[in-house]
Amino acid sequence: MATRVGAAPGDDLTVASRRLNAAYQQTLRYAEDVRRLYQQVQRAIYQSLLGLANALEAKDAYTRGHSERVGAWSRGVAAALGLPTGDVDMIGQAGLLHDIGKIGIPEAVLRKPGALVPEEWAVMRNHPLIGAQIVAPFDFFAGGALMIRHHHERWDGSGYPDGLTGDEIPLGARIIAVTDVYDALTSNRPYRVALSHATAIEHLTSEAGRTLDEDAVAVFVTLMQTLSTAKPDVGARSALRPSS
């Protein structure tokens, strides 16, 4: 850099250093703005997906409240496992949206009052794939899309859509599977009345290491004990889900 006439070289260096520092600070501010905007866009997209999930709840009475509980419990299990905050958030969001693909299932199947026949089950089993496709355009939610795709996989490989086994199944999907099964068991279905909390926990424990992830089951059981200790009426289904 050219030295001004009459100015000591050190002065120029000081000025240049200040300018450089000011430019650096400005860049940091821009970066912070970009980060904030990106988060706003993510939130807006997520809100839109929630709108879609609400539309599903209007279509399928069973899903009402189910998605929120699965989301909240999955988040709780992920946090109790000590996962990083970003992973905990994504698992909670994927739990909330796990059945979003049911929006693409015909109402005749979705709302059928009786048990489904094999052909209808084949249609119903497409919902994890449809759900993953719905959220696929959002790069920031790629991990969540995988959890949605695999939430019906089973530890022993007997699940769908890909028959993955054990650790091949994304951890978030294994967690969602546990909370999803518990909520399904403790819900009234057209073909079965709701099981008690204790019976559902017994079932989860017997499936741990067989169809369900052993660690996720253990953490979930402890979480439910903690919740029922903090609020004694939580163990009762009616307290978890006000009669609908």
Residue 73 is classified by DSSP as: H
Kindly state the DSSP code that residue 156 receives in the 8-state scheme.
T
Report in angstroms how near the CB of residue 174 gets to Fe ion at its nearest. 14
Residue whose CB is less far from Fe ion, 129 or 234 = 129
Min dist CB 102 to Fe ion, Å, is: 7
Closer to Fe ion by CB, 157 or 235: give it: 157
Q: In angstroms, what is the minimal distance from the CB of 48 to Fe ion?
A: 21
Closer residue to Fe ion (CB): 59 or 234: 59
Contacts of 138 (CB under 8 A, 6+ apart): 45, 145
Binding stretches for Fe ion (CB under 5 A): 99
Q: 192 has which bridge partners?
A: 189
- Considering the complex, state which of residue 1 and residue 58 has its C-beta at the smaller distance from Fe ion: 58
Q: State in angstroms the smallest separation of the CB of 26 from Fe ion.
A: 49
Using Cβ positions, the residue closest to Fe ion within the complex turns out to be: 99
Please report where in the chains the tokens 């091949």 appear, as a residue: 168
Amino acid at the residue 173 = A
